[in-house]
Structure 1
Amino acid sequence: MQQGTAAHPDHDRAESETIGVAAYTRVSTAEQRHRYGIPVQRQAIQAYVERHSTWHLVEYRQDDGASGSTDSRPGFDALIEDIAAGQVQRVVVHRLDRLGRTEAAIWRCVWQIEDAGAQVECCVEPLGDPGIERWLTIDRLAREVEADYRRIVTRTQSGRQLKAVAGGWPGGPAPYGYRLAGKGTFGSVLEVDPAEAGVVALIADLLTEGRRSLKEVTTELNGRGVRTRSGRQWTPSNLSRRLGSGTFLGEAVFRRTDRQWGGHCTSVDGDGRPVHGESVSLALPPILTVDQVQAVGEALAAMSRPRRNPIAEYPLTGRIRGRCGLPYVGGLRGKDGLRTYRCSGMQGTRSCGCVFLPAAHAEEQMAERVNGVLASMPAGSRPGAPTSAAAMRLVRHGARVTLLDRLTAERRQDLQEARGTTAPVHLAAAAVRQIESDLGTLGRIAAHARDWLHELEAEILRDAPLLTVLASLTPDMRVLPPREQRRLVELLDVRVEVADPTFRYREGTTCLTTRWHQRTGELIPPDPSDAQWDRVEVLLRSWFPAHHFRSPLDLRAALTGMLHRLRSGILWSELPTRFGDRVNVRVRQRVWLESGVWEAITRLLNEEGRGTPVFRRPLPPLLIRTALDAEQVA
């Protein structure tokens, strides 16, 4: 039978040529506690390498506390880069479970190492030369690793389930307001923590009696010197998390199925039911009365609102720094819904002094800078160009899947021949069993290979818009949706600073008419000519009753003053008296805007196309850097 797999990395090497070897080690947190650590693995690998005269140990790569259920880890990713650079031809692990704790994770690590140009070796059990026998060995060991992992998970989860059903605390930190009694024993339970219980009662009073917002509650707590469990100041975000815990819900739920986000959530099946056991409600020693719990719930419901600032909609979140050095985060301004970036230092009890940035301004300046940097580079030398690692992995892995399909077809043909052979019955039966076993193994490997192939294809499709921009002769990142812009920002390591830390916005709020022009893009027309004013006056008289024109205010002069203020950006208090009484002019403009006649007036006066943009107050200058250029003030 044909032995199909990737070529052996050493076939083209001379017998005496030194082979570069990398030692890969990994431990999880649980294993560190049980003293199965990095030194043990290193000693075994070093002894194994020393038994091969042509092998030379060139480096150690390790992942501390890394999960074995994933195939991407910092140490492993660096190892792949070293292999691709030609520094390593062999990767040695103590046991195969150091690559992963599931079949899929192990195979993907093996394939990534092979595609980069090296081969995996195991200290405990030889994997064999390249070929189907090697695949059969890896499959057997990988199945043993996953079976062992599943037994550990089942045993651990069953113990936690039994403990929860018995009324004990199943594990993890105690909810705020409680502490563990009998920690580390099977009978550990929650008891009220007197110090934290007083804070819980205070929070409940502030929420229910004062009907305060979360920000107001945190300001009050910090003002009284109350700190969180970790000793930090309260913020609306950490208070919100505490309010969602069992303390303020009246009970704790083990294996919650209504919170399926983040890295720590209950595993559920296709029907949404917990995989490792049913949900268990744990009664908590009361801190609040039933009425207080209900009142807190009502107060939270009254102030709840959906999250409005996901990071994907704000590509520069975390990338901007102000005078205090803390990162800016994106969000909507409450009073007018404007997309902005604000310094995270403003969430404390006092403002840090950093100015907010309109998101459109910051993102436009960033886009211009990034587009200029990319346009100055040849398309082939830009980061993440179409010849990406993902595309190369897809090509190599696609060939592997084709090879697996061919080997499977050959084994099926062998099976047909074995069933029709004239050999003795016991020999034919043994051959059939072996071929059927090989087919089962190839089927499992092919299933894992196709799953990874689909993920690689999805990655290429996901990257297509970004790669199109990077390959363009005139790149423009503004055509990308915010999520893809965020990826490009991270790829280029874009960093933004407020160039003038002393910059301050002008006092006063933007008037409604200015906001309307900014939102609609309607230009400010020139002052009306005599003929145009006659038409405007007819329009006004068709819109308003006669008493609207009995005011001593000269409406033509007032209109001219309104246009002058919108063009120049002066404050109402700075409006020259030649345009009429400032208060009356301001009131008349608001009436015209609210009635809708202002839109009709501006369109009439803009018929000749000589309008100018509405005044926009100066915005802070930004210092924009990327990993590809020197700093430049936008």
Structure 2
Amino acid sequence: MGKTLTSAIKVADRAVRGETLRAVDYLRVSTEEQAKGFGIAYSGKKTARYIERKGWEHVGTYVDDGLSGSLEAHERDDLDRLMHDSRKSPRPFDMVVVNEGRVIGRTGRAFWRWVWELEDLGVYVAVVKKDYDNSTPAGRSQMRKDADYAEEERELIRERTQGGIQEAAEDGMYPGGQVPFGWTVKDGRYAVNKKQAATLRRAYELYMAKRSWQAVALTLNSEGKLTARGQRWTRKNLRRVMTGEAAMNNRIIWRGKNAARRADGTLIYGEQVIIDLPKIFKKKETKALRAALEAQPRQAPARGRVYIVSGLLTSPCGSVYRGHNHRAGVYDYQCKGRTEAYAGAGGTCNCPALNADSVEESIWADVVALLGDAERMKAMAKEWIGEIASEHVDHVSRLAQLDQQIAEQSQVIDVTMPVAARQAAKRGLVGAEAEAAVETAIRPLAQDLANLEKMRSEVTAWQREAEEVTRRARDFERLAGIVRDNLTADLTPELKAELLYLLDCQVEVVQCAPKRLGVACALREWFASRKRSVPTLTDEGWERIKHLMGGSRSKMDRRLVVEALLHKARTGARWKDMPAEYGNPRSLQTQTDRWLASGTWEAAMELLKDEPGESVWSPEPTEFKVSLKPLAIESRIGDGTQDGSSTALRRRTPYARRSPAGRRRAELSGRAPRSP
């Protein structure tokens, strides 16, 4: 006996014994339905009256207002809450009531997956409009018809809409969507926007003279020539506009590379159309621009290192750290937030670069420690699999039921065809007329068979998705086993990155010490290596050392220089961040090198060793709280950046959705993904 039939008998048995069934109503209307007057209040009255008429106990209401029926259960807030409640023990309700079938969903995926899961839990869905529920074969048959109708209605609306757009595009009219910079829409057709066209022509003149998009963007911004949204230009968006299809070829490709396509690559809605635009640039101008672009030397992207946590580190400014290759062979993580928001804006944050080797070594040590604990790994895998699975449908049973229904429907058609043929013969119909009569008789049956076969295809696809979850869990166990068996071995960066991806490792940078790229601070090293405090320079102290500091030919105030160096040793400030009162940072650095090399600094500090002072600047250890779903581990290291500056890291989110595979590959190689 199937699980669905068993659950239905239990519900029916409760009703026979006189136990009142508990019902909740689920109310959903889309924004389009709201505009037509079909609001939540209207639907709620219908479902409440239905529950009362049935004699059920109304125990709750779930509402998703203004949400599309194409969204799945986990994408609708209250429906997702309903599903979580239905899994509780004891079960809190027996029936879910909706006003009409399309409330359940507008696509097969959005419709069936949550209905079937409820069935397997012993909860059934009742539809007010046609007074049925899916606890009986007749009710399930009617529900299939409602599901097919809801999806067909959605497709029909879309086809009509897209058909009108197709006709407009083929006639050279504006079909909707974003209008390229430089053009506008007048009387339903594209026309040149004179103000924006002037900006494009100015950009062309500047680029042909300067051959730098950054320089062109700076000039345009300074002249007040901004983007269509009134934003400042950046190197990237300016280059994208100037080298786009509209500016370079005076045309738009409607339904181009980003249009919705089927699995075989063909377009779903309509055909591709090329719409000619009024010209802004002459043909010889675009030809000259192409030649100038081709003449520009292209810098090949740096390759050769896999950054195992690229994109997993969130910086204090809210951006992410990504791997960055330097030509000098320095590998670090740099915050994306340092990129200019627009030309001339400067970096938007001061997040320091993180030394790749130090960060990765510490994080990987924590991961290895976790993977070495078999019990923690077992618990982790169990919870991970449970949370990844978005639904709990028994696909094998569903496929078996559908196979049986398809076989029965096929048998009905086989029986009906000869009967219909005999009836046509009795009516005196022959040839094409007889064939048409038979086809008319079996058309509804054939349509039901096609719908069943379509549903079976969808369930097969959902089963493959569930198997993919299982495969990922097995991959997780396989990789974890490799690490457990080779705790002391050096795994490849690719293998480490794959495991961190499966573990859903998330790290947040929450505190940054002064950034210190390059060699360590010589002043700090001098005090730290001798375990000396940094003295406070008093008038008496200066009198003792001023004969050593020299500089009769220099215009610099030597006492101010000494105070600047002591300030730097106490605070760890970078040369360029030193207070302006101390003078030119480059001159200060040069004088420091001379005093240290000649022994002057050591002699002066020896005379000041008894003066009261403060501790030399020292970076705090880096703190990691690395989130590995569902456990978290903590550690601390001394060096978070190239010279030991401090970076504290902690868990970012309890569970972050994984990025697409293409983006992840780009992150691993330290290169940003292409824009969609």
- Given that residues 333 and 339 in structure 1 are in contact (C-alpha distance below 8 angstroms), is that contact kept between their aligned partners in structure 2? yes
Q: Secondary structure at the match of 1:230?
A: coil
Counterpart Cα distance in 1 of 2:413 and 2:311:
59
Aligned partner of 2:229 in structure 1 is 230
Equivalent position amino acid for 2:200 in 1? V
Equivalent position amino acid for 1:482 in 2? A
Q: Deviations over 1:398-427 (max 9, x none)?
A: 222233334545666788899999xx999x
The structure-2 alpha-carbon separation of the partners of 1:275 and 1:414, relative to structure 1 and needing over 3 Å to count, comes to: closer
Equivalent position amino acid for 2:198 in 1? G
Q: Secondary structure at the match of 1:180?
A: strand
Q: Mind listing any 5+ residue stretches in structure 1 that lack a counterpart?
A: 183-187, 510-570, 578-615, 630-634
Aligned partner of 2:346 in structure 1 is 350
Q: Deviations over 1:401-460 (max 9, x none)?
A: 233334545666788899999xx999xx99999987765554343222222212221232
Counterpart Cα distance in 2 of 1:73 and 1:167:
38
Q: Which of 132, 146, 149 pairs up with 1:144? A: 149
Larger deviation: 287-296 or 367-376? 367-376
Aligned partner of 1:153 in structure 2 is 158
- Given that residues 370 and 376 in structure 2 are in contact (C-alpha distance below 8 angstroms), is that contact kept between their aligned partners in structure 1? no
Pairwise CA distance, 1:497: 1.0
- Given that residues 102 and 147 in structure 2 are in contact (C-alpha distance below 8 angstroms), is that contact kept between their aligned partners in structure 1? yes
Aligned partner of 2:394 in structure 1 is 396
Pairwise CA distance, 1:43: 4.4
Pairwise CA distance, 1:385: 3.4
TM-score, with structure 2 as normaliser:
0.62
Pairwise CA distance, 1:150: 2.0
Aligned partner of 2:60 in structure 1 is 58
1:320 pairs with 2:314: yes
Q: Which of 494, 513, 516 pairs up with 1:501? A: 513
Q: Which of 615, 625, 629 pairs up with 2:650? A: 625
The structure-2 alpha-carbon separation of the partners of 1:355 and 1:120, relative to structure 1 and needing over 3 Å to count, comes to: same
Q: Which of 124, 131, 136 pairs up with 1:126? A: 131
Equivalent position amino acid for 1:10 in 2? V
Counterpart Cα distance in 2 of 1:33 and 1:483:
48
Q: Which of 481, 503, 526 pairs up with 1:488? A: 503
Aligned partner of 2:463 in structure 1 is 453
Q: Secondary structure at the match of 2:287?
A: helix
Aligned partner of 1:567 in structure 2 is none
Equivalent position amino acid for 2:115 in 1? V
Pairwise CA distance, 1:132: 3.3
The structure-2 alpha-carbon separation of the partners of 1:95 and 1:413, relative to structure 1 and needing over 3 Å to count, comes to: closer
Aligned partner of 1:10 in structure 2 is 11
1:114 pairs with 2:124: no
Q: Secondary structure at the match of 1:355?
A: coil
Equivalent position amino acid for 2:212 in 1? R
Q: Deviations over 1:256-310 (max 9, x none)?
A: 43x24xxxx243573x44343332222222233323333444455557789989x
User: Where in structure 2 are the equivalents of 1:169-568 lying within 5 Å?
Assistant: 169-182=174-187, 188-213=188-213, 215-243=214-242, 245-257=244-256, 259-260=257-258, 265-267=259-261, 270=264, 272-300=265-293, 302=296, 315-317=309-311, 319-322=313-316, 325-333=317-325, 335=327, 340-348=332-340, 349-351=345-347, 352-370=349-367, 372=369, 378-382=376-380, 385=383, 387-388=385-386, 396-408=394-406, 442-466=452-476, 468=478, 480=495, 482=497, 485-486=500-501, 488-489=503-504, 494-497=506-509, 499-506=511-518
Counterpart Cα distance in 1 of 2:130 and 2:297:
61
- Given that residues 315 and 483 in structure 1 are in contact (C-alpha distance below 8 angstroms), is that contact kept between their aligned partners in structure 2? no
Q: Secondary structure at the match of 1:382?
A: helix
Q: Secondary structure at the match of 2:7?
A: coil
Q: Secondary structure at the match of 2:402?
A: helix
Pairwise CA distance, 1:380: 4.6
Q: Secondary structure at the match of 2:333?
A: strand
Aligned partner of 1:529 in structure 2 is none
Q: Mind listing any 5+ residue stretches in structure 2 that lack a counterpart?
A: 425-437, 522-591, 599-640, 655-676
The structure-2 alpha-carbon separation of the partners of 1:380 and 1:313, relative to structure 1 and needing over 3 Å to count, comes to: same
Q: Secondary structure at the match of 2:270?
A: coil
Counterpart Cα distance in 1 of 2:291 and 2:351:
35
Aligned partner of 1:84 in structure 2 is 87
How many residues were matched structurally? 506
Equivalent position amino acid for 1:23 in 2? Y
Equivalent position amino acid for 1:208 in 2? M
Q: Which has the higher contact order (CA 8 A, sep 6+)?
A: 2
Pairwise CA distance, 1:316: 4.5
The structure-2 alpha-carbon separation of the partners of 1:434 and 1:254, relative to structure 1 and needing over 3 Å to count, comes to: closer
Pairwise CA distance, 1:501: 3.1
1:19 pairs with 2:12: no
Counterpart Cα distance in 1 of 2:412 and 2:399:
20
Equivalent position amino acid for 2:84 in 1? E
The structure-2 alpha-carbon separation of the partners of 1:504 and 1:65, relative to structure 1 and needing over 3 Å to count, comes to: farther
Q: Secondary structure at the match of 1:281?
A: strand
The structure-2 alpha-carbon separation of the partners of 1:495 and 1:64, relative to structure 1 and needing over 3 Å to count, comes to: farther
Pairwise CA distance, 1:22: 4.6
Equivalent position amino acid for 1:228 in 2? T
Equivalent position amino acid for 2:249 in 1? G
TM-score, with structure 1 as normaliser:
0.65
Equivalent position amino acid for 2:169 in 1? A
The structure-2 alpha-carbon separation of the partners of 1:431 and 1:162, relative to structure 1 and needing over 3 Å to count, comes to: closer
The structure-2 alpha-carbon separation of the partners of 1:485 and 1:120, relative to structure 1 and needing over 3 Å to count, comes to: farther
